[in-house]
């Protein structure tokens, strides 16, 4: 080919390529403009003009769930039982208490509370099983991959064939009416892009671990069966909810992403974020991304039963405009502030626990940004039933007489001292530590096969602190005339995260007179000290103490008077013990 002709062919090809790219860009713009318009209409329909209905609905379910949980546990004292459902909050009780939940996965869609309460995800569709963790073809995703599943037009309930670690090459773009259900497998999204829920409605994401998310470079990505187009660079969020409604994010474990863990922006509304665990991150939650985008006034988000754990700095959440209900969450760490905002958002904080760090400059829960007190003093930020510990303080604002719910219809939250209990099954929360898992196992064993004469259970809001009772019944190891017979003796057991490698601190609450029990109720017993072994569980501890009552060791005294009397004047010793037994009948 001669040089002139070659140049002409090249120029014609270049013009064709530029024209095609321009046409594709124009087509992309049309597709996304149509989606944005449809989403805007759906968001307006999802907005709740009477938010107090949502507040009361959630709080009433919490009270009912907690009442049932405590009633079950009270019924276990001294009885054999198959064991209660471990779920403590109403969302988890809704499905976890069904031992055959895998046969009825879609029941999960009936469990959502809060502003996202109408979300059903893929309930109306088929089950789609992800069998392939790869993400290599972004324009024509391989059937069986997660990307292939989320772009289908029909509703789908997406599950996983096995444990998977998935690296997304570019952001995962959802279509409407999808559920990603990670129950029954360990699903990790890491070292790639995150989830983009853009201009859609009705999405559930459940039981997924997302961490170390990177910025996506962009490129051609399919976003539906009928369309693919050019995507720009992604932000590096774990989950971005962009102009969408009826979204439920539940039991997600999120940490260490490039930008935010969860963003709810661009007029999104009817969102519930529940039972999630957040750790090791700076900008945690962003609700409303721009001071100039006033359409976020319709934003309504519920943040419930979440655990804010180690290594968090700020934005839990940071809110612009809209209405955020922050209820029964456990904040155990922040380095700057927990809850912040600008542009006059309405924030109702109910029944949360806020534990400040030891940093004297980070005790305040709240932060108003880019405004003066003369302005923010009118914003409605209220705290009801919150527990503030280690010097934490919450600065309220707005009309001090403002009522979110008026009259007898008002249902108060469960107070903040119960927050950790309500989180007992949350994703990645502190119930997942080895010590707490072991304690739950000890509790189950004690329910299934309780030794005669003992009972014990964790306190309602703290599995690390147990209440126990030893009954002074006649035992094989005791003589028939034991003076302890008929007594009811109360103890506490305080565990640490080192359990079972280290023993708990055990102390009698009831008054005692015994050679191996100190005046403060603590116990001198070898298995609680130098003879401790991880094989001992709660039942073994209590039965050992029970045996100690009638078989003391006066040669290692904690109470020298009782030891001397036991060795030299058994009759007087028995009389003193019987006084203790009689006092135990009437002690509180």
- Catalytic residue numbers read 524
Helix (H, G, I), strand (E, B) or coil at 231: strand
Nearest alpha-carbon partner for 127 in 91, 180, 166: 180
Distances from the Cα of 154 to the Cαs of 39, 124, 126, 174, 517, in angstroms? 17, 9, 9, 12, 68
In the block, residue with structure tokens 């073994």: 540
- Residue keyed to tokens 């919450």: 394
Tokens of 190: 């890491």
Q: Left (φ > 0), alpha (ψ -120 to 50) or beta: where does 235 sit? A: alpha
201-to-34, 113, 322, 333, 581 alpha-carbon distances in Å = 14, 16, 18, 33, 65
Whole-angstrom distance, CA of residue 566 vs CA of residue 562: 6
The structure tokens listed for 13 are: 């090809």
- The position carrying tokens 């130098």 is 530
366 three-class SS? strand
Determine the Cα–Cα distance for residues 410 and 268; give it in Å rounded to an integer.
Answer: 27
Rounded to whole angstroms, how far apart are CA atoms 179 and 157?
5
Q: How far, in Å, CA of 416 to CA of 384, rounded? A: 9
Rounded Cα distance between 105 and 108, Å, is 6
Of 151, 155, 156, residue with least CA distance to 137:
151
- Residue 460, Cβ neighbours under 10 Å: how many? 17
For 537, the 3-state DSSP assignment is coil
Tokens of 134: 């790869």
CA dist 530 and 544 (Å) reads 15
- The phi, psi pair for 36, rounded to 5°, reads -65, -40
With beta carbons less than 8 A apart as the criterion, state whether 252 and 96 touch. no
Question: Which residue has 């923010």 as its token pair?
Answer: 376
First to last CA, the chain: 104
How many Cβ atoms are within 10 Å of 313's Cβ, its own excluded? 16
């Amino acid at each position: 080919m001669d040089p002139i002709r070659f140049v002409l062919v090249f120029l014609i090809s270049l013009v064709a390529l530029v024209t095609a790219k321009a046409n594709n860009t124009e087509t992309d713009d049309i597709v996304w403009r149509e989606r944005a318009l449809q989403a805007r209409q759906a968001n307006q329909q999802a907005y709740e003009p009477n938010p107090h209905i949502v507040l009361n609905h959630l709080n009433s379910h919490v009270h009912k769930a907690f009442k049932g949980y405590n009633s079950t546990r009270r019924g276990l004292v001294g009885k054999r039982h198959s064991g209660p459902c471990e779920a403590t909050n109403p969302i988890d009780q809704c499905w976890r208490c069904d031992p055959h939940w895998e046969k009825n996965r879609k029941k999960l869609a009936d469990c959502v509370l809060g502003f996202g309460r109408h979300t059903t995800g893929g309930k109306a569709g088929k089950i789609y099983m992800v069998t392939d963790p790869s993400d290599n073809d972004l324009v024509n995703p391989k059937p069986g991959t997660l990307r292939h599943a989320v772009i289908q037009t029909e509703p789908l309930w997406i599950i996983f064939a096995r444990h998977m670690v998935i690296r997304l090459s570019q952001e995962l773009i959802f279509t409407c009416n999808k559920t990603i259900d990670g129950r029954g497998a360990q699903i990790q999204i890491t070292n790639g892009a995150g989830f983009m829920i853009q201009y859609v409605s009705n999405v559930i994401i459940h039981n997924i671990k997302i961490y170390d998310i990177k910025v996506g470079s962009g490129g051609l990505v399919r976003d539906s069966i009928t369309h693919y187009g050019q995507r720009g660079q992604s932000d590096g969020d774990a989950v971005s909810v962009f102009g969408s409604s009826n979204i439920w994010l539940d039991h997600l474990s999120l940490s260490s992403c490039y930008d935010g863990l969860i963003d709810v922006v661009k007029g999104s509304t009817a969102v519930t974020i529940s039972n999630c665990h957040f750790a090791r991150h700076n900008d945690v939650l962003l609700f409303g991304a721009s001071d100039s985008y006033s359409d976020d006034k319709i934003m309504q988000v519920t943040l419930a039963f979440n655990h804010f754990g180690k290594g968090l700095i700020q934005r839990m959440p940071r809110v612009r405009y809209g209405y955020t209900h922050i209820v029964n969450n456990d904040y155990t760490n922040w380095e700057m502030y927990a809850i912040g905002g600008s542009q006059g958002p309405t924030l109702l904080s109910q029944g949360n626990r806020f534990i400040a760090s030891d940093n004297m400059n980070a005790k305040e829960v709240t932060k108003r940004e880019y405004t003066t007190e003369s302005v923010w003093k009118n914003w409605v930020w209220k705290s009801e039933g919150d527990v503030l510990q280690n010097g934490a303080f919450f600065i309220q604002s707005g009309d001090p007489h403002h009522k979110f719910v008026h009259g007898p219809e008002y249902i108060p939250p469960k107070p903040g001292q119960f927050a950790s209990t309500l989180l007992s099954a949350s994703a990645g929360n502190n119930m997942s530590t080895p010590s707490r898992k072991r304690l739950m196992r000890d509790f189950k064993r004690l329910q299934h096969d309780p030794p005669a004469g003992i009972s014990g259970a964790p306190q309602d809001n703290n599995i690390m602190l147990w209440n126990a009772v030893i009954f002074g019944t006649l035992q094989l190891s005791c003589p028939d005339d034991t003076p302890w017979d008929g007594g009811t003796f109360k103890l506490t057991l305080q565990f640490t995260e080192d359990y079972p490698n280290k023993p708990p601190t055990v102390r009698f609450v009831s008054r005692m007179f015994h050679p191996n029990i100190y005046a403060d109720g603590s116990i001198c017993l070898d298995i609680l000290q130098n003879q401790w072994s991880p094989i001992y569980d709660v039942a073994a501890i209590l039965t050992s103490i029970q045996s100690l009552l009638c078989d003391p060791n006066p040669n290692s005294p904690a109470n020298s008077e009782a030891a001397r009397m036991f060795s030299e004047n058994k009759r007087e010793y028995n009389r003193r013990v019987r006084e203790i037994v009689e006092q135990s009948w009437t002690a509180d």
